[in-house]
Every structure is written in C-alpha cells, then in structure tokens.
A = this chain, B = another copy of it.
Amino acid sequence: MSAPTVYDVAEQADVSIATVSRVFRKPDAVREATRERVMAVARKLGYVPSGSARGLASRSTGVLGLCFPDYDDSTAGVDDGEITLYSDEIIRGMERAARRHGYALLIAASLAGGTESLVAKVAGRVDGFAVLARTVPTEELEIVSRRLPVVMLAGPREMDHLDHIEVANTDGQRQLTRHLIEDHGRTRLAFVGGAEDSPDAQARFHGFQLACQDAGLPVPDAPDARGDLTQADGRAATEALLARPGPAPEAILFANDQMAVGALRVLEHRGLRVPDDIAVTGFDGIPLTRLTRPPVTTVRQPAGRLGENAVDLLVQRLADPTRAPESVMLPVTVVRRESCGCGD
C-alpha cells in the first residue's frame, strides 16, 4: 500500500520530478506529448499528489476550516433527526462558497470534554478558518490569528483585529417588539433573556429596550427572567412569569426559539391560548418553530449567509493580508407566524 510518488512517476515516464509536478499544477506548461505520457503512468500507478507534501512545499493547503461548538443533537430531534441545525446551514453556506473559490472545507467541533485544542488541530491544516463565537478561548484565537486569517462568526466583536460577522440581533428584536406593540397592540410585555454573559441574548434584550422606548413604554433595565436558552429553561421562565403577582403579560418575548417552544408547552398545559391569551415570540428561526402549534413568530438569522460571507472574508484576506479588519452586520428578518397573533 505504499503510495507512489513523483519520483516513481518521473522515472517510469522518463521525465524529471519537476515535470510531473507541473503536469498536475499547470498542465499547459508542459508539452502535450509529455503530459500525456506522464498522466498515463500516473494513472497506471495510481498516483495521487500528497496534500501534505504540497502543503508543506507551497505553504498553502487549499483548505478553509470551521470550528464550532460541541452541539447537542439531543435537543434538536423532536422525534427524529430531521431538524436543520444552525451549524448545518453555516457549513452548507461555507462549503458552497469555498467550492466556488476552489477550496475544500475542514470542519471540526470541539470535543465535549476535550482537553486538546481544537484550534491547533484545525489551524495547522488550513489556510484560514472561521470560528463560531465562544467555541474556543479568546487567548488561543489571539495567538493563532497572528499567523492565519481567522473570522469570527456571530457573537460580539471580541477582538478588534479580527474579521467578524454578526447578525443584527438588536435591530431584529427591536423590529419584532415593535410589531407586537404596533400591530397587535400588546403593551404588557415580558422579556426572557439568556445568561448575562451571552452577548447575543444581551443584544436582543437591548433591542427590546429600544422598542419599548420607541413606543413610550416603560423601559426595563433587566429581562423579566433569564434562562439558559433551552426548552427546559423556557418552561421554567414561563412558570416564573405566570407566578408573579399582578396581571399576566400579554406577550412573552424569548431570547431564542428553544425557550419559546418550551413556553408553548407550559402555556398549553395551563389552558392559556396562544396567541389569544398571550403572545409568544422566539429568535433564530429554527425549523422547529414552524412545526409547533401554533407556529412561532421569530426572527430568522441568515445562517447560510454567515457561512458564505465567512469564506468571502477569508478569501479576501488571504489575497491581501493587509486589509483593515472588517466587521459585517447581516440583516435578519422577522418571520410572522401565529404565535404573535398573525394569521397563519
């Protein structure tokens, strides 16, 4: 099973290894007769250029990478594996864009209890890579980004010398909230945020605040409840809100879809009708939101676009490493479904 090398091919084709190399890199630089002779031998021998050797010699791999967190499939499944994960869309977007630019895509998720560095594993084998926010320690990124183009996906801009793509969390939540207020006349609103260190959730809460302010409503200085972005926490937060003294809110806005979906269960169980008695909204636009009853109004993140833009940024920086770091803000879209009171 020892693989044939340029030397083997060169010898049998009676040319130098340089010519063999040329045949595979710039065929046009080799006379046709020679080229075909080389190709024939290569085919016969089953020669395939070693990516490692190429990478070493040329200092470039033709591969872009993506690091993402150790996602948890189990929360995704409803009753099977049919749910598109956010990361799937990013992967697809990156793959598509990478392909267009002639790159392959290396993907790696962090190991749950993984001691070893994800970044080191990926960084050594690619020409540049994208990282989903909070997947790897900032310090590591700091180091590796000195050597390699790195683009940060989502999350806030933690490192200002990195290219960075984020989605319009604040703006999206603001629009959504305004919709609830202006189009559905709901004014007694409750917002369920995420952990305090979740920048996305914070940004969304800020959007909520802005909308309240826009409408002349009282502006809360903290979410009415917080959760860890899981369905279970959505349920818990909902219970907590309903247990508060005074009238129940007319609408509960959740910092993400999972929590909103969790809330639906609680509300139904309590005999509260959505959206008649209480409106519910999420954020992210995961497919699950359209499968629930009622379908959940949410804000869709352009995950595929995130991936494509990431590749574009990487390719640009590869072409010109001196470019000033760029920070792109991707627009989101409010998806109106039944849970906010919009007809189906």
Tell me the A residues contacting B by CB distance below 8 Å.
1, 3, 43, 46, 48-56, 61-63, 70, 73, 80-85, 88-89, 91-92, 95-96, 99, 104-109, 111, 119-126, 143-144, 146-148, 285, 287, 290-291, 300, 303-304, 321
Residues A48 and B147 in contact, CB atoms below 8 Å apart: yes
CA distance A109 to B94 in the complex (A): 12
Assess A46 versus B147: contact at CB under 8 Å? Given A52-B125, A55-B51, A55-B52: yes
> CB distance B125 to A111 under 8 Å?
no
A95 partner residues in chain B, CB cutoff 8 A:
107-109
| B56 engages A124 (CB within 8 Å) | no
Contacts of A148 in B (CB 8 A): 3, 48
B residues near A126, Cβ cutoff 8 Å: 51
Number of copies: 2
Can you identify 23 A-B contacts, CB atoms within 8 angstroms?
A43-B143, A46-B144, A48-B124, A48-B143, A49-B120, A50-B56, A50-B124, A51-B124, A52-B52, A52-B53, A73-B96, A81-B84, A81-B303, A83-B287, A84-B84, A91-B107, A99-B109, A99-B111, A104-B106, A104-B107, A104-B121, A107-B107, A125-B125
